[in-house]
Amino acid sequence: MSIDSVSDIWETLVSAQPDPPGALVLVTAVIALLVIGFRPLWRIARNAITIAHEGGHALVALLTGRKLRGIRLEFDTSGLTLSAGRPTGPGMMFTLLAGYVAPSLIGLAGAWLLGGNRITMLLWLAVLLLLLMLINIRNVFGAVSVIVTGAIVLAVSWYASAQVQAAFAYAGVWFLLFGGIRPVFELQTLRSRGRMPESDADQLAGITHVPALFWVGLFLAVDVAALVIGGFMLAGQWLPEVGATP
């Protein structure tokens, strides 16, 4: 690859894309909500939330000095991240905290990038993070899920038009912001039926002696805050066009 080619790729990565049509921002939000609300679609799309959830556990485990043992993603959209270290203390606490807030916080970071029209950068960062996650996947279904997701994002970023890239990026970020909230309600529903005795919230309760319901509420508060802040960032791309005078 020539120096000029590398320079062109770098320029593509860091340059801002044109402002998307205001309607695109609104339409992609509606699409994301429909996917989350329609159970058959949610059943498939939820795998992306699980990838973000387990990726959050893995990243925080590494940042807090724990040794990452591996990540599993299952066909039923559940997942498991194994790390070695003290079973109690701040490192374990923050690792457990990270899962249910990771999709929403990733969506918030994506909204910030989209606010600066860094659409290509957002897509390529997503591919990079998926590649790093793939290294730690320990089952076939998990590897296939990450590879397929990464391939779709890469194909869109490399071959699609600017408008298609924008629609894909906005839909993905809206999906993370909205979709990060639904699993918290699913978590509490399963907990109330006694079907998730070892959930992240219950493990946090075990090591902190703070009731699990508090941690469920904290997950929800963080996710809703990310949605509100990220929503304002994304709506800022739409509202100026609505208020524009002819």
Q: Tens of pLDDT along 16-66? A: 677 778 889 999 999 999 999 999 999 999 999 999 999 999 999 999 999
Among 4-13, 46-55, 168-177, 179-188, which stretch is predicted with the lowest mean pLDDT?
Answer: 4-13
- Closest by CA position to 77, among listed 223, 183, 169, 151: 183
pLDDT at residue 10 is higher than 90: no
Average pLDDT estimate for 212-240: 90
Q: Give residue 225's pLDDT.
A: 98
Note the pLDDT of residue 13: 59
At residue 20, the pLDDT reads: 79
Contact (Cβ atoms closer than 8 angstroms) between residue 142 and residue 72 = yes
pLDDT value of residue 242: 47
Report pLDDT for 2.
46
Q: Name the amino acid, one letter, at 3.
A: I
Q: Return d(Cα 161, Cα 86) in angstroms, integer.
A: 48
Pick from 20-34, 95-109, 176-190: least confident? 20-34
CA distance 92 to 86: 7
pLDDT in the model for residue 167: 95
**Could you state, in order of their start, the residue ranges of all structural domains in the chain?**
50-241
**According to the 3-state scheme, what is the secondary structure of the chain?**
CCHHHHHHHHHHHHCCCCCCCHHHHHHHHHHHHHHHHCHHHHHHHHHHHHHHHHHHHHHHHHHCCCEEEEEEECCCCCEEEEEECCCCCHHHHHHHHHHHHHHHHHHHHHHHHHHCCCHHHHHHHHHHHHHHHHCCECCHHHHHHHHHHHHHHHHHHHHCCHHHHHHHHHHHHHHHHHHCCHHHHHHHHHHHCCCCCCCHHHHHHHHHCCCHHHHHHHHHHHHHHHHHHHHHHHHCCCHHHHHCCC
With cut-offs at 50, 70 and 90, classify the pLDDT of residue 117: confident
The pLDDT, as a whole number, for residue 246 is: 46
CA distances from 194 to 57, 74, 79, 213 (A): 23, 21, 19, 13
Q: What is the mean pLDDT of the chain?
A: 90
Residues 170-182: what's their mean pLDDT? 97
Residue 121 burial class via C-beta count within 10 angstroms: exposed 0-12, middle 13-18, buried 19 and up: buried
> What's the pTM value of the predicted model, to 2 decimals?
0.91
How much of the chain, in percent, has pLDDT values that exceed 90?
79
CB atoms within 10 A of CB 143: 15
In this structure, of 9-18, 66-75, 132-141, 228-237, the range with the lowest mean pLDDT score is 9-18
Flag whether pLDDT at 8 surpasses 80: no
